[in-house]
Structure 1
Amino acid sequence: MSEFLKLLKGGNKSSLTAAIVNTIIAIIKTGAFFFTGNVAMFAEMMHSIGDAANQFFVYIGSALSKKAPTPRFPNGFGRLINLVCLGAVLIVGILSYETIKEGWHQIQHPTTSTGVAISLTVLGLGILLESAVFYKAGKEILHENGIKGSFLGPITTSFAYINRAKPATKLVFMEDLVATSGGILAFTAILISHYTGFLQAEGIASIIIGLMMFYVVGKVFLDNARGALGETDEQMLVHIAHIVSENIHVKDIKELEVIKEGEFLHVNLVVEIDPTLLFAEVDDIHDVLKELILNQQSVTDVTIAFDEDDGIKKWKHHKDKKTTLKTPD
């Protein structure tokens, strides 16, 4: 139990914050829905319940993924976060279906809801809280990539680096982006329904919110399915190939693999060097390359092997701003 609690301290902070905030929002929205019977509020209630459950699962998964390798699991638990995310999106998928179904029912059989002031107040509070979590997740994405953005960076620049975010941070960012957008949509639908009498507006908003939730389900599912299988990080592969090739003793790169293991990267490298070098010199080259690669973002494990230079340059790499990453100072 003590080990479990210790691991929890290393869990993804963005997902924990999001889980707590969304739990509070879900409770408030649930009360508002039962008091008003508002369909748009029902959609937002389901959305917040799904996000809260999702993010609690992800927080626990991100913590457990940092567990050290054991004799039974020598490769570690890095991919556990991907498996947890896969399970978590199933919850959101079920709630998405219920949200769309309720919205369709409202369109076919529109009903008037009460307590408009309560609904708007609750939704307004939810928008503020969810946008704050969204901003924090965006800030975390920039931090994970070593980017110092402006005040608006977390809601602008962060989109350019979302694919390099940790799985848990990326999930929180996407869910709260949709949650904030859904809250604004529900708020607008209630206003339209109240002031124009177009009661179907709430049903339409509910369906759109459900579809946005399904989008997150699909996106997160595909990302984590690739992670669970062991996906190559192409951008980091090109970057590592570039910095390794700059070493004067490396004549060619024979093999290079950069495999994602949850939040971490494992690197397997085979380089060609001068066969006349002494063992002590090769050992020094190994240490230099290993330290260099381990200093790269998210790299936790490096395996390096050497082969004699055959005089034929086979590895091709390029220095592209889109694929060459910033080396930490």
Structure 2
Amino acid sequence: MSAIRQQAKEKRKATLIAALVNLVLAIGKTTCGIFAHSEALVADGIHSLSDLLTDIITVIAIKIAAKEADSDHPYGHARFETLATVTLGMILMTAGAGILVSAVDRLQHPEFLIVPGLLAVVMTVLSIVANEWLYHYTTSIAKRTRSQLMKANAWHHRSDSISSIIVLAGLIAAIAGFGYADAIAASIVAVMVAKIGYELIVSSILELVDTALPKKLVDELRNVILDTDGVAGLHRLRTRRMGPTALADVHIMVSPRITVSEGHLIADNVRNRLRDEVEELSEVLVHVDPEDDDVVELSGHCQSLPQRSTIIDLIDNQIRQLVWPEQIKDINLHYLQGHVEVELILSRSEMLKDQQQQRQAEDKLCSAIKQIKYVSKTNIYYQ
């Protein structure tokens, strides 16, 4: 079983347990609130009912988000968790607004204020205990799976616990003779529920618009990259979150004289180190540069230069009278700072015994190649 599916199984189990508890609490608190004449307990029951709805949404989202990447979703389905969190937040805000309207109406009509019974107190205490247990259980799952959705669910359970404590205080005060206390407690709970919904919506929207990871985490990524052997610098480090994981892409600078294979190895080392040392990171795209793109764009970019085949034809036209084709073993081109540097690799057997004649022959080759307007420098080597 893949890690994604195993995590999805854990999250689904935790959510189903929470759904069962919330179902019992929603029925119990709403029923007891009606019979015990407690507006605050009824509001708390509606809060639990909204949590039950979010648990259902969470189960569906986890099932979809656990699917492997496919041709339509090459980066996976983790964003479905984020969409579910937005929906969850909207439900909570709506529920909070409804509770608040009802509580304010009760405060404006004191004739409807009724002293709640002890049954409401007992039910509220049971709710506090149940929600605290759910909070700790769901938090442990959220940490293991690095799921923002499960973390949000855990805080829903904690908010339920806190709201029940407020309800309990309001009930005790109302029974003691402060008639407004129950309605005031309901208003406080309503505001709490709406606030949690608002925060969930904002955090999820920030993820959907690809907001960067926190600066502390980005700095950690930067330090790991710069500490990797062969990396001379970095630029264009970009990060974003996708569900429970984070993604990053970066341009690293390496020596412009190394081989393609060595540059590829350095990029692989950067990617592997980041994934091993930064727990949240699931995927990294590393682009290898011989120089800083941002600086080069100001002085001249190599993208406007001709491709290799064109440069080779130009070189051939310039030196065909000076050297036989079979004498040329290889030609390396370095595209740097808006120009081309040429490395001409000649056969060692063609070296002249007279060093002065050798230098003159090399100077003629370099002068001929330098006539090409794109070329800034030519080096000659022998093998």
Q: Normalising by the residue count of structure 2, what TM-score does the alignment of the two structures yield? A: 0.69
Q: Which residue of 2 aligns with 1:156?
A: none
Q: Deviations over 1:43-83 (max 9, x none)?
A: 11111111121132123213322322221222322211111
Deviates more, 1:239-248 or 1:169-178: 169-178
Tell me, in whole angstroms, the C-alpha distance in 2 between the residues paired with 1:284 and 1:117: 71
Which residue identity is paired with 1:228?
Answer: L
Q: Which residue of 2 aligns with 1:207?
A: 187
Is the 1:12–1:169 contact (alpha carbons within 8 Å) kept by the matching residues of 2? no
Q: Which residue of 2 aligns with 1:37?
A: 37
Q: Which residue of 2 aligns with 1:176?
A: 157
Shift of 1:39: 0.6
Identical-pair percentage: 16
Q: Answer with 1 or 2: which has the greater Rg.
A: 2
Q: Deviations over 1:90-124 (max 9, x none)?
A: 22122111211221122122335476221111110
Q: Which residue of 1 aligns with 2:173?
A: 192
- SS of corresponding position for 1:9: helix
Tell me, in whole angstroms, the C-alpha distance in 2 between the residues paired with 1:236 and 1:66: 25
Q: Which residue of 2 aligns with 1:297?
A: 279
Give the structure, 1 or 2, with the largest relative contact order (CA under 8 Å, sep 6 or more).
1
Tell me, in whole angstroms, the C-alpha distance in 1 between the residues paired with 2:92 and 2:143: 26
- Unmatched tracts of structure 1, length 5 or more: 145-164, 315-329
Matches within 5 A, 1:31-110: 31-110=31-110
Q: Which residue of 2 aligns with 1:271?
A: 252
Match of 1:233 among 209, 213, 219: 213
Higher strand proportion, which one?
2
Deviates more, 1:284-293 or 1:15-24: 15-24
- SS of corresponding position for 2:285: strand
Name the CA shift for 1:101/1:81 in 2 (closer, same or farther; >3 Å).
same
Is the 2:95–2:194 contact (alpha carbons within 8 Å) kept by the matching residues of 1? no
Tell me, in whole angstroms, the C-alpha distance in 1 between the residues paired with 2:59 and 2:245: 16
Q: Which residue of 2 aligns with 1:281?
A: 262
Name the CA shift for 1:219/1:14 in 2 (closer, same or farther; >3 Å).
farther
- SS of corresponding position for 1:230: coil
Which residue identity is paired with 2:133?
Answer: A
Tell me, in whole angstroms, the C-alpha distance in 2 between the residues paired with 1:206 and 1:120: 14
Q: Deviations over 1:182-219 (max 9, x none)?
A: 101111111111122x2111110110100011110111
Count of residue correspondences: 289
Q: Which residue of 1 aligns with 2:306?
A: none
Name the CA shift for 1:297/1:313 in 2 (closer, same or farther; >3 Å).
farther
Shift of 1:308: 0.8
Tell me, in whole angstroms, the C-alpha distance in 1 between the residues paired with 2:71 and 2:294: 41
Deviates more, 1:58-67 or 1:296-305: 58-67
Q: Normalising by the residue count of structure 1, what TM-score does the alignment of the two structures yield? A: 0.80
Shift of 1:292: 1.1
Tell me, in whole angstroms, the C-alpha distance in 2 between the residues paired with 1:217 and 1:136: 21
Q: Which residue of 1 aligns with 2:135?
A: 134
Residue 261, structure 1, aligned to residue 234, structure 2: no
Is the 1:11–1:60 contact (alpha carbons within 8 Å) kept by the matching residues of 2? no
Shift of 1:34: 3.0
Which residue identity is paired with 1:81?
Answer: E
Name the CA shift for 1:48/1:311 in 2 (closer, same or farther; >3 Å).
closer
Is the 1:18–1:172 contact (alpha carbons within 8 Å) kept by the matching residues of 2? no
